[in-house]
Structure 1
Amino acid sequence: MGLRNLQTFLFFLLLMVLGLSAPLSAAEGKRLALVVGNSAYTATTPLANAAADARAFTAFLKENGFEVDSLINVDRAGFARGLSNFSKKIGPADTALFYFAGHGMQLKGENFLLGLDAELLSEFDVDAEAIALNSIISIMERKASLSLLFVDACRNNPIADRLNASVEGVTRGAALKGLAPVSSTGSGTMIAFSASPGQVAYDGVGENSPFTTALVEHLASPSLEVGTAFKRVIRDVRIKTNNVQSPQIVSNIAAEFYFNASAPATAVAASDFLAQIDFEKAERIATARGWQLYLAKHQSGSFSDSARAALRLLEGGGDGLVSPQEAESRMRLTQSQRKEIQLTLSDLGYEIGAVDGNFGQKTRRAISRYQKALGLTETGYINSVVANRLELVGVTSTDSVVSADEARLFEPEDLKGLETDERIIRAAQCLRGKEIIYGEFGSRLYVAVYDRHSSWQTAKSAAQR
């Protein structure tokens, strides 16, 4: 097939896919939102960014078709009035969204959001001075078709520590005790927290918190479903806070919801479209190897920086990464393979000096330039991504094949198109529906299956397959 015909084919393929799978909003009614941002607390630590976060999220929602009620720096009574007015607007076909930035706490397994006037001198003051999060969830689930809640609040109990008033402005509390776990019985509810239980939700050093910044950046990505978008929010927040804050999502949404369902996806180039398909596969695979394979296939483009960030995060965000020298050492390159690398680089137009299998200054310089051309960090040392791109055959490495830290489901369809080891794809196919973990030991692939109720005969049968 000629280049022109291939481009035409990819273009029509894109139109077919978009036409057949064009997402519908989970609800066809109005998009309604209540946004609350409390910064100017009088009896506890003021927050630098909460009000600004609420304003930024309000603007974001209005740009994406929401009718927004915005409450900035309100006391408990104003908070309650705003909730009452909001609830009266919600119809059974509507999408209802609630956003809160400010102080939060838990008491006896229930979570509360605080108005500006909350003093909470004892636990008996909580009902009168705070709003129960469960009551907000209950109202939204009862009245709306789809309920979305975003809580950018500190996870700390002010009764135990008086909201750690000495931490002024640095965080949304020092979080001695996290918010209680939240569950939802509704069939169309998603609850997103800025931090996991026991973690601090940071105000951030800029105008907005890391959580709200990531929400605004990712939720309205063209034709990106909210669940997938939130994975990117989690990744960004973890990167920006050096892994000390990880957002949490509780969702039982059956239908798909898109903040930006009307985005002009047809304007996306066919190459970007295919890269997005692979990127979403790599997100679902969620292993360092998966991201390495993605980058070997897509060195540049709209998603490459996000892929590199995801890879750094899984490899320890920089703290747990081995040195470039160690990474190359783990490749266990033979003299023949080193010569093959030199020859390939020479064929690509790089000056490598003598083809002798010794990586001198010229070869190291050539590797660095090749890495720069791929959009990778210029280390001058070979790693699995570079070796994969150079199509180096027979490379063995103690970590060249590895799955997640724990056994989980791997869909063969996600592995196809990225995974270069056919054995892994075949293993995932014959063990479909089973939680597996795989890796390489001494150039041999192992696959282990985790099954809570397997008999010896079942395990033997799986091993034989």
Structure 2
Amino acid sequence: MMRLYATRTSRPRSRNKFGKRTVAAFLMAAIIWPVLTFAALAADRVALLIGNGNFDTPALSLANPINDVIDLETALSALGFQVSVLRDGTRSQMLTKLAQFSADAKGAEVAMFFFAGHGVQYTGENYLIGREFSVANTRTLLSSSVTLTEIRKALERARPKTGLIFVDACRDAPFDIAEIEQTGLARTSGGAGLMFVYSTDPGNVAFDGSGRNSVFTSALLDHIDTPNLDVRLLIGRVRQQVVMKTAGKQVPWVEEALLSELALSKAGAASGLNDPVVADMQRWQVVVRDGSFEAVQGYLAAYPNGTYADIAQSILSYGDGSAAKPASQTSLEIVGDNPDTAVAALKMLGFVPTKMSKETLGKAELGAAFERYQSTASATGDVSFETMIDDATRLSMMLASTTAQRMRTDLVALNGVERTLIIAEDALSDFETIAAGNDDYLAELTQARRDVAAIKDARDTVLGRLDGSRDYYRSLLDQSVLFVPEDATLALLNLSGGTRGALNVNQRAMADTGQFLKHVHSSRISEVGSMSWLTDFLPKQKE
């Protein structure tokens, strides 16, 4: 290298375009530019991970939090995050890291905060406990913990496009403070663009798990790098896995006000897109969003024997609304007295676009939609508001039953595929150890890897189906609580003559429908964010 450099500089000066200083500057720029470019890209995704597992009081120590943040740091770094980690931090150290995180997150595409350790609620506030906590009283708790409000405000100051706050806490703490009567963490909400993800629902405790990671973090690590998966669906898969692993004893809780979709992993192709059941479900989701008879007709043309074909036919039995009756002042007054209920029911029946609200619709338009329903209802003359509610309720029951059957089937399938995958991966690991450096086994080893990949593809397909059915069932619940009467019964499915849409349903469908009505009732009285109903779809455990 020295001779090459000397030879180049020994040429006449007029032929040398770059002097020593210029060459050095050029080489320095070549080194620094990729670093600066990477830093600029990394700053679009920032994360702060805090794991408090080793406390000054040994009895408080936890096995998993440090492993959780170590493994999550590896996963997030691979996804392009600029990751900062604090292990076994005090309140002061946590606040220092939080301030730096807030500064780093300004204008970021996504900023993610993750905490693993002890957490408790007191007077409506959530406290994430620092390492120095030792004396079980509220004064020590307040002086050695960071509040979730402080974390939320740090993100609100930074104003990233998307802010994610994960709290894998609310483990059953081995201490007792007299003033604290409730276990678990309290519900917290934030501003637009924020998502709060708790490892379990309010007032309940979370499990540490028997392996390297907690049950919640293990599920998060399993799905966080799924290509092109929106973060809402990602958390749905995490929650689904936690519910299955804990037999419904732990149900992660979500509060979100996200303004756009976000995929943490953008590499590769989305999974499950070629599966006919997934495509069927995606097409039906288009129908739901559109809310028009034309969309229903388009679905039937594409999927005459599809999952929702019978229900689509039932919707079309109401006609296309082209022969509306003259305006009725009475009907306008009826829907005007019950606008929320009327909008939700008419959306379910397809007479109001799903994207419209009572504010954007207006009283006159709502009345006109109700009259279109009246003009296409049964010829018996019974076209009252109550009849519309019955029709909408029956349709939601039918949709829920169909979706529930798909969800239950796929949860059983997922359970079996995952058991098979564990066995196959263990066998492959053993085979790779035995065959290491031996080309005689190369063909068999290659085939074994393909077999494991095929099982993973099958799992991804089932997960894709569950994403659709799980979220659609939840949307049915969210809409149905607005109009389904509290005294609704299965008798609505067996009505004949008075209204259209009645179906002959089997015993399993009747059971699913009855379960849906119970879910509607529990959703009406529970906090938004709960998906405890998911536990009712778990595969039955063998004795």
TM-score (norm 2): 0.46
For 1:188 and 1:438, the matched residues in 2 are separated by 43
Change (3 A) 1:277 1:28: farther
2:128 is the alignment partner of 1:122: no
Structure 2 equivalent of residue 181 of structure 1: 187
Deviations 1:69-99 (A, max 9, x none): 0111222222222112222222224421100
Structure 1 residues 160 and 440 mapped into 2: Cα distance closer, same or farther (>3 Å)?
farther
Q: Distance in 2 between matches of 1:97 and 1:252?
A: 15
Alignment correspondent of 2:85 = 70
Q: What is the match of residue 386 of structure 1?
A: none
The aligned counterpart of 1:41 is: 55
| 1:271 corresponds to which of 258, 274, 278 | 274
- Describe the shift of the 1:292–1:218 C-alpha distance in structure 2 as closer, same or farther (beyond 3 A): same
Partner Cα separation in structure 1 for residue 52 and residue 168 of structure 2? 11
For 2:66, which of 30, 43, 51 is the aligned residue? 51
Counterpart CA distance in 1 for 2:179 and 2:238 is: 26
- The alignment's C-alpha RMSD in Å is 4.5
Distance in 2 of aligned mates of 1:40 and 1:82: 18
Whole-Å Cα distance in 2 between the matches of residues 176 and 309 of structure 1? 39
Alpha-carbon distance, 1:408 to partner:
4.8
> Do structure 1's residue 137 and structure 2's residue 152 form an aligned pair?
yes
CA distance in 2 between partners of 1:41 and 1:280 (Å): 49
Q: What does residue range 314-393 of structure 1 map to in structure 2 within 5 Å?
A: none
- Change in CA separation of 1:269 and 1:82 when aligned onto 2, cut-off 3 Å: closer
Of residues 121-130 and 43-52 in structure 1, the stretch that sits farther from structure 2 once superposed is 121-130
Distance 1:440 1:107 in 2: 49
Matches within 5 A, 1:74-89: 74-89=89-104
The percentage of aligned residue pairs carrying the same residue is 28
- 1:320-362: CA deviations, max 9, x gaps? xxxxxxxxxxxxxxxxxxxxxxxxxxxxxxxxxxxxxxxxxxx
Q: Which residue of 2 aligns with 1:347?
A: none
Paired residue for 2:403?
A: 290
Counterpart-to-counterpart distance in 1, 2:88 and 2:42? 32
Q: Distance in 2 between matches of 1:133 and 1:30?
A: 23
1:103 paired residue number: 118
Query: Partner of 1:256 in structure 2?
Result: 261
Report deviation, 1:213: 0.9
What is the identity, as a one-letter code, of the residue corresponding to 2:132?
A: D
Q: Distance in 1 between matches of 2:249 and 2:64?
A: 19
Q: Structure 1 residues 294 and 178, CA, compared in 2 at 3 Å: closer, same or farther? A: closer
Pair 281,105 (structure 1): closer, same or farther in 2 beyond 3 Å: farther
Could you say if the C-alpha distance between residues 140 and 441 of structure 1 is closer, same or farther in structure 2, counting changes exceeding 3 Å?
same
Closer, same or farther: CA 40–192 of 1 in aligned 2, 3 Å: same
Q: Match for residue 150 of structure 1? A: 166
Distance (Å, rounded) in 1 between the aligned partners of 2:413 and 2:178: 42
Q: Which residue of 2 aligns with 1:356?
A: none
Alpha-carbon separation, structure 2, partners of 1:238 and 1:438? 33
In structure 2, the residue matched to 1:380 is none
Letter of the structure 2 residue corresponding to residue 202 of structure 1 = F
- Structure 2 unmatched runs, 5+: 1-40, 289-395, 419-457, 459-472, 481-492, 495-499, 522-543
SS of 2:236's partner is helix
Match of residue 91, structure 1, among 106, 117, 140:
106
Quickly say closer, same or farther: Cα 1:126–1:294, change in 2 above 3 A: closer
1:239 aligned partner, one-letter code: M
Output one character per residue of 1:96-135: Cα deviation in whole Å (capped at 9) or x when no partner: 1100000111111001111111124422233321101111
Match status 1:195 vs 2:200: yes
CA distance in 2, matches of 1:443, 1:209: 36
Question: Given the alignment of the two structures, is residue 306 of structure 1 paired with residue 414 of structure 2, yes or no?
Answer: yes
Alpha-carbon distance in structure 1 between the residues aligned to 2:184 and 2:503: 35
Deviations along 1:180-202, one digit per CA (max 9) or x if unpaired, are 11111x11000100011122211
| Residue 28 of structure 1: how far off its partner (Å) | 11
Is the alpha carbon distance of 1:28 and 1:108 closer, same or farther for their aligned partners in structure 2, counting shifts above 3 Å?
A: same
Q: Gapped runs of 5+ residues in structure 1?
A: 1-26, 165-174, 311-374, 376-402, 411-422, 425-429, 432-436, 452-465
* Structure 2: distance between partners of 1:443 and 1:98: 43
What amino acid is the match of 2:75? F
* Structure 1 partner of 2:232: 227
Query: C-alpha displacement at 1:292, in angstroms?
Result: 3.5
2:279 and 2:177 map into 1 onto residues whose CA distance is 48
Q: Of Structure 1 and Structure 2, which has the larger fraction of its residues in strand?
A: 1
Residues 1:288 and 1:263: Cα distance change in structure 2 (over 3 Å): farther
More divergent stretch after superposition (149-158 vs 285-294): 285-294
Residue 442 of structure 1 and its aligned partner are, at CA, apart by 8.5
- In our comparison, the structure showing a higher alpha carbon Rg is 2
Q: Aligned partners of 2:508, 2:197: CA distance in 1, in Å? A: 42
> How far, CA to CA, are the matches of 2:170 and 2:508 in structure 1?
47
Q: 1:264 Cα deviation (Å)?
A: 3.0
| 8 A Cα contact 1:60 1:216, kept in partner | yes
Q: Which has the higher helix share?
A: 2
Greater Cα offset, 279-288 or 88-97: 279-288
One-letter amino acid matched to 2:274: S
| 8 A contact 1:106–1:156 mirrored in 2 | no
Aligned counterparts of 1:78 and 1:238: Cα–Cα separation in 2: 34
